[in-house]
A and B are shown apart, each in its own frame.
Chain A
């Protein structure tokens, strides 16, 4: 692959990362804390490509000038061919040392940089959505873990309706022996997932990027949910069925829903 093409690909890829980082779309793929790194990475990619382009241009100009002075001494056709051979030789001629490494690479053997086009196209043209119901159904485990209970449970506020993350809801139902959620009305936010006959309210948690997404979910009962499409984001208020998250239910608590309202998806769809 020619240097020019590599540089264009780098600019495109750097641009794709900047676009993700600056428009907030990156939250579909990675954690919020990565944003400054993505901006820096995109900027460095573009900078490296621009440095190389500027250098190539100035080298090219110098060689043209040399070829030009050549032409004065020789016949015109001769000079033109010289300029051409210079141009062809350029990738070999002007790059020494580490760049010489990329010779093995040029034009024929190194096809790997073409792969850089894939994320560019994926980001600019397809812009894949945040993970949803499909990912939840790929796993039976409920990611809320016993180890999180180790630090103990803080008392819940006395509000009439308590907003909770699904992770905390699951953890408290499964491992808080004091039954702090019993007879309390809670509000959960998540998307609708269907598996067999059951309808779940689910969220995904990520610890680094979407590749390690793990689901947390609660079984919704108490009314007919058939009007809600799969992957629809909702806010649901209701009460837990005490003791419903056990080993037999794979620690998925049952949630008796009183009221459910469709909402627009939050910007960061992942929990924790």
Chain B
């Protein structure tokens, strides 16, 4: 840096300053263009399908942002106030044992899946084994008390749905954690997600907290919005009528409900109410819907690709999808 500085310095180049187009200028231009073409934009979107899609898009973003903010605040607090050594003391030494512990610890994070991604990534950076952090990531959105209570309220007529969902989701998280312990390679995870934080770099803890939270929010927020775009698109493109005719075809019903959980990207606190309204289907496909949804959906895949890299998401998401279906079937066989 200094060298280039000196070299450049040898040339007298004070004026004129080179015009650099940075993101700041691009943003200003974009905003002005959007304002100028506002009427045109509104008119272009005034088609029923696009109107519905844009409403769903804003709804997904607005609904998820509070949870994402909760997640980045927790993530910032872990970075600033919980030293890596404390986490290591808290968790069992053997990864195989720490995985179920992390899964059960998911009970303590009441939020939907958007909150758990930044937290899991922060845990990895603080030296928690990836398998353990991933198992927390999968468990937290599905087994926390808020989700279980809303499931109980929705399925008043089938109370066994609650333990079935709890066990199915926890099983998914623990099995994925163990699979990652056995087969996972750390090079699949983007290097930035694993970079260790120095324990103390002289800055005040509050500064670390604010900066970490801000940075996580900007990064993950972008991916959350991307997920919202997909969810809105699928919401209008997938004909809801088509799955309502599936009726009694059990195998097809299970597959379609699993795929639907992925593309609809519903909040884990709301999906039970959607599942209960699909009364044409037997309980088992609906359980699959509830177990798959919080573990893998388009919003979550976008967030994971952002936090851990694309090559991670490309392996983790399909695997989770399969494991979640099998776990749900297992839990369903026991409880339903």
Residues of chain A whose beta carbon lies under 8 Å from any beta carbon of chain B = 1-2, 4-10, 13, 17, 20, 26, 28-30, 34, 37-38, 40-41, 44-45, 48-49, 51-52, 55, 76-78, 80-82, 84-85, 89, 95-102, 104-105, 107, 110-119, 121-123, 125-126, 128-131, 133-135, 138-141, 143, 145-147, 150-151, 207-212, 214
Contact = CB atoms under 8 A, between A and B. Distances in A.
B155 A2 contact: no
A251 to B, nearest CB: 9
B208 A97 contact: yes
Given A128-B58, A212-B274, A114 B52 contact: no
Contact of A38 (B62, B156, B218): B62
Contact of B73 (A44, A102, A145, A209): A44
Interface in B239-284: 239-241, 244, 264-267, 269-271, 273-274, 276-280
Interface string B21-56: 011101100100011001001100100110110111
Contact of A207 (B155, B212, B273, B306): B273
A130 B55 contact: yes
Contacts, number: 254
Contacts of A114: 222
Given A81-B13, A211-B231, A98 B79 contact: yes
Contacts of B215: 98-99, 101-102
Contacts of A151: 156
A207 B218 contact: no
DSSP majority for the A interface? Answer: helix
B201 interface: yes
A231 B137 CA distance: 42
Contacts of B212: 98-99
B214 A51 contact: yes
A210 B12 CA distance: 60
A209 B42 contact: no
Nearest to B15: A80
Residues of B in contact with A, size category: 35 or more
B313 to A, nearest CB: 13
B97 to A, nearest CB: 29
Interface stretch (B3-11, B102-110, B178-186, B328-336): B3-11
Contacts of A29: 55, 58-59, 62-63
Contact of B51 (A80, A119, A129): A129
B266 A212 contact: yes
Contact of A131 (B52, B265, B266): B52
Contact of B219 (A2, A8, A26, A102): A102
A209 B62 contact: yes
A119 B58 contact: yes
Given A119-B225, A138-B239, A208 B266 contact: yes
19 contacts: A1-B23, A6-B214, A10-B217, A52-B214, A77-B12, A77-B14, A89-B1, A96-B198, A97-B201, A97-B203, A105-B219, A111-B222, A115-B225, A118-B57, A118-B225, A128-B57, A139-B244, A141-B280, A208-B267
